[in-house]
């Protein structure tokens, strides 16, 4: 098998056009898309805008490429030996040693605009304006001496509440990532584009903690006042999209728009469903449903007119991906323009080994949302009728499906529970509980109560039903029990969304109190009651009591800020 080394150099086996870097900024030439053969290779600069890099204080000494098409970004990536061509046309990259987000290296500039609105603490770490200025000077100097790739796009399919985003990067494949993940613009929009927020992306620059006030050489810094994001020291592409998600989570509540870390899809009758969940719980998998249109797989806003996608693409986990289990996502990984991060390839065929986690468990695929056949290209939907909370309970305690009251919904939204399994992190020898408020605490600048209040109000206004779906283990904890079958989970979700569960019989869970259906079409009855799947009922009782205590201990920090009804909606 082929695993790219850390000094990853792609072996390009087919010829590509090469050219010498220009000594100018590259702003003079515009690629004529209609007559590409009439334009010299040195003029393939892409679609420029009238607002150039001078507005960002960058004085380029090398070439600047504006809004290049994916094929051109492929060429620039291969010319720099930054990726491998994958069987069927995708692009494989390596981001090691950073193969996931660096949450401890995320900062928000603390100033008059953010002082009273940001929930400062371990999640939202403050950086002084002086340290930001010092880091920014070094980032601008660094970028000014390199070939640059500029991508102008939009975050937010709602015309009133979206923002225009510019990404300036030294890496062509990161520009392709931004092309995939943000909403793509028309030619007319490119010409008049002026960014609301700008990401200055310098992955090869290392921050200096002594000079920049950072924790390490990695930094992801959001400056709301300057409307800028600085990223250094990490090639993990997810930092680009999540930094803008944090920006939207900060600014949209003031517009009465509820920003959500969730996927969304819609049925034939216009019934919208939301899927909240942390990484690994099935958010992308379950929303990519052939029977329903995909609005988006990760980030949405809920405003006065309904739900809208923040993004123009998907960023799916691919570990253990199969053609049979997730056909739509699998198909997308075989398409030109898709970026595969940290996957292992066959050395001869360049086919992907999706089961190989030797680089990381967090293998990813980035692709435009229209690569999913039933994508809702408008990125818009009405007010949700159903809200699904996803958890991968590695303790084997929670039922595979349960109906929540509004108070229980608020309790579990603030809890944001899932579990890590043994072996996924060094030193983890048994399942460990993870509580991430609102199913997205690392991306929430404001106090979780702000977002919970917005959810509660919308549930009351629109009467959406909330469901808890456990995609984790049954018959015992991880290592003893078995993972719930995806086919059964899909059947439960379908029954919940099409109304077949609502008219059935339910019984209260003896520990957590929520209603558990006594039957679900196409699902064995014995699967629905977790205690009955364990060979030892007493062992289940002990595990359930342990998990219930974890919930109570975690919720203690919210207990004084919620109503008695919500406070009493947790485990008994």
Which residues are catalytic, by number?
A: 101, 242, 261, 279, 283-284, 298, 364
What single DSSP character describes residue 225?
A: T
Compute the distance between CA of residue 568 and CA of residue 561 in angstroms, rounded to an integer.
13
Q: What is the DSSP string of 154-181?
A: EE-SSTTT-EEEEEEES-HHHHHHHHHH
Contacts of 50 (CB under 8 A, 6+ apart): 191, 192
How far apart (Å, rounded) are the C-alpha atoms in residues 279 and 442?
Answer: 12
How many Cβ atoms from other residues are within 10 Å of residue 263's Cβ? Answer: 28
Two structure tokens written together for 561: 């800020």
Lookup: tokens for 349: 């065929």
The values of phi and psi at residue 349, to 5°, are -90, -15
Q: 């469901």: which residue's tokens?
A: 467
Neighbouring CB atoms inside 10 A of 191's CB total 12
Cα 333 to Cα 350: distance, rounded to the nearest angstrom: 13
Q: Which residue has the tokens 């919940």?
A: 496
Strands 106-109 and 219-223: parallel
Give the pairing type, strands 306-309 and 299-303: antiparallel
Q: Assess contact for 174 and 85: CB atoms under 8 A.
A: no
Task: Show Cβ contacts of residue 538 under 8 Å, excluding neighbours closer than 6 positions.
Answer: none
DSSP, residue by residue, 14-51: S-----PPPSS-S-S----SS-GGGS-GGG--B---SS
């Amino acid at each position: 098998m082929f695993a790219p080394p850390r000094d990853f150099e792609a072996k390009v086996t087919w010829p590509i056009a090469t050219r010498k870097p220009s000594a100018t900024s590259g702003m003079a030439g515009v690629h004529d898309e209609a007559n590409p053969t009439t334009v010299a290779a040195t003029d393939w600069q892409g679609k420029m805008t009238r607002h150039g890099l001078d507005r960002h204080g960058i004085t380029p000494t090398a070439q600047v490429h504006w809004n290049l098409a994916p094929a051109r970004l492929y060429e620039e990536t291969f010319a720099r030996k930054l990726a491998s061509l994958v069987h069927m046309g995708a692009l494989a990259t390596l981001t090691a040693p950073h193969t996931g987000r660096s949450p401890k290296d995320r900062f928000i500039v603390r100033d008059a605009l953010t002082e009273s609105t940001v929930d400062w603490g371990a999640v939202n770490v403050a950086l002084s304006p002086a340290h930001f200025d010092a880091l920014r000077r070094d980032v601008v100097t660094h970028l000014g001496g390199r070939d640059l790739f500029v991508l102008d796009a939009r975050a937010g399919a709602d015309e009133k509440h979206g923002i225009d985003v510019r990404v300036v990067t030294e890496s062509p494949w990161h520009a392709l990532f931004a092309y995939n993940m943000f909403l793509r613009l028309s030619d007319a929009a490119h010409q008049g584009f002026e960014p609301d927020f700008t990401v200055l992306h310098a992955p090869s620059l290392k921050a200096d903690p002594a000079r920049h006030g950072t924790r390490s050489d990695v930094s992801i810094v959001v400056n709301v006042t300057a409307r800028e994001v600085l990223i250094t020291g990490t090639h993990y592409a997810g930092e680009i999209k999540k930094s803008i998600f944090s920006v939207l989570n900060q600014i949209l509540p003031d517009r009465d728009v509820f920003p959500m870390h969730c996927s969304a899809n819609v049925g034939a009758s216009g019934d919208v469903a939301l899927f909240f969940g942390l990484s690994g719980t099935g958010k992308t998998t379950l929303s990519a449903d052939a029977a329903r249109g995909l609005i988006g797989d990760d980030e949405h806003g809920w405003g006065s007119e309904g739900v809208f996608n923040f993004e123009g693409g998907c960023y799916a986990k691919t570990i253990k991906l199969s053609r049979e289990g997730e056909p739509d996502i699998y198909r997308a990984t075989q398409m030109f323009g898709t970026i595969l991060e940290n996957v292992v390839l066959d050395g001869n065929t360049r086919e992907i080994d999706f089961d190989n986690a030797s680089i990381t468990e967090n293998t990813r695929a980035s692709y435009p949302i229209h690569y999913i056949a039933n994508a809702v290209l408008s990125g818009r939907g009405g007010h949700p009728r159903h809200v699904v909370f996803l958890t991968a309970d590695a303790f084997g305690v929670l039922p595979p499906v349960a109906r929540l009251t509004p108070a229980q919904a608020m309790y579990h939204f603030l809890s944001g529970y899932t579990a890590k399994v043994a072996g996924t992190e060094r030193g983890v020898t048994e399942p460990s509980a993870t509580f991430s408020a609102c199913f997205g605490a690392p991306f929430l600048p404001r106090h979780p109560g702000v977002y919970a209040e917005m959810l509660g109000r919308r549930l009351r206004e629109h009467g959406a039903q909330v469901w808890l779906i456990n995609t984790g283990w049954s018959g015992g904890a991880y290592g003893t029990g078995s993972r719930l079958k995806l086919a059964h989970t899909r059947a439960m979700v379908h029954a919940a969304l099409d109304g077949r569960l609502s008219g059935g019989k339910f019984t209260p869970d003896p520990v957590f109190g929520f209603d558990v259906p006594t039957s679900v079409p196409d699902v064995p009855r014995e699967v629905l009651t977790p205690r009955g799947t364990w060979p030892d009922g007493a062992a289940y009782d002990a595990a359930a009591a342990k998990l219930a205590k974890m919930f109570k201990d975690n919720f203690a920090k919210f207990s004084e800020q919620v109503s008695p009804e919500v406070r009493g909606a947790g485990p008994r």
